Amino acid sequence: MDLFEMMKQSGHEQVIFNLDRKTGLRAIIAIHDTTLGPACGGCRMWGYESEADALNDVLRLSRGMTFKSAAAGIMFGGGKTVIIGDPQKKTPEMFYALGRFVETLHGRFYTGTDVGTSGDDFVEAAKIARRFSGLPVEFGGCGNTGLFTAFGVFKGIQACLKECFGDESFTGRKVAIQGVGKTGEPLIQYLQEAGAEVVALTDADRPKMLAAAEKYQVAAVEPDAIYDVECDIFSPNALGAVINDRTINRLRCRIIAGAANNVLAEPRFDVMLRDKNILYAPDFIINAGGVIGVSDEFEQDGFNEERTFKKTEKIYDRLLRVFSYATEKGLPTQDAAEQLTQQLIESMAEINRKWVDGK
């Protein structure tokens, strides 16, 4: 399939390839939809095996950001950046170059931290451009977005418990955690403080996995073994596509709820989970805490932590609405979430047709 056909099928407006010969920066920016406002989405740096893999990733992630922002009530569209390269070899100069490329879009796109990048990287980029968020607190940003994402996932799991078991108590509930990075680790703390039993954790970074296991007194298992752990809640907080043909029949959980993007390798797994009586919390609903945090940086009074946590709490209500709609319409939950969000985007598109003060 050629690029334009891929864009047509996924609804993308624009894809930009960026090469800076001096610094070696190779980046792709994808803008999916700007109905609600300028596109916004993180910048991921990863050692992709091919340019095709990088392109597929940026298209999937940017589309997800359209739905994530809309569902979270944020007046941004969906976009994403991927940098092809080893995060261990990044340089400040690469992010100066990225800043210049982003600035050429004249406000159509805002970006910030994601896998393989940090707030400090965007302190450098922000010297060149104004379109960066997720900066450290001392630079006026929201700091570690993983804290807000983890809180949102925690509230989302509460909603899942209420839907599955009729009450949101964590007491006696067993959780398996996949990924103990900037979201997975604080999520463990939220869960344990609420009375949940975190029965196993894993991470591709073995030293990080063992350190978290010791810190929280949780059993560490090899990455592939996490799917076989018996639990109430399986929480994927690493990379996507973990629910696939190889893993779906191994799951021994009642709920899937985590911070990872694009958890389902293909849409058909949404139906399969429903048929297995496993409740799936749509990723773009439950993991919106991070984008809620970075969007708050653009409020007129600047970032406010208390306001951000208050906004993130609403993930609980949004998930319950998705579950109710899914039941009413006889839909799997991902499909229900996408339908509800598409209805919202179409309503806003109609509203935005009205001319107001030159806009």
Residues recognised as catalytic? 80
SS3 at position 209: helix
Q: DSSP letter at 280?
A: E
Burial class for 235, CB neighbours closer than 10 Å (0-12, 13-18, 19+): buried
Q: How far apart are the first and last CA of the chain?
A: 37
The CA–CA distances, whole Å, from 326 to 155, 215, 332, 339, 353 equal: 19, 39, 6, 10, 30
Alpha-carbon distances, residue 10 vs 29, 38, 87, 114, 340 (angstroms): 15, 18, 28, 22, 18
> Contacts by 261-264 with C-beta closer than 8 Å and gap 24+?
261/60, 261/61, 261/64, 261/287, 262/60, 262/61, 262/64, 263/236, 264/334
CA distance 233 to 198: 9
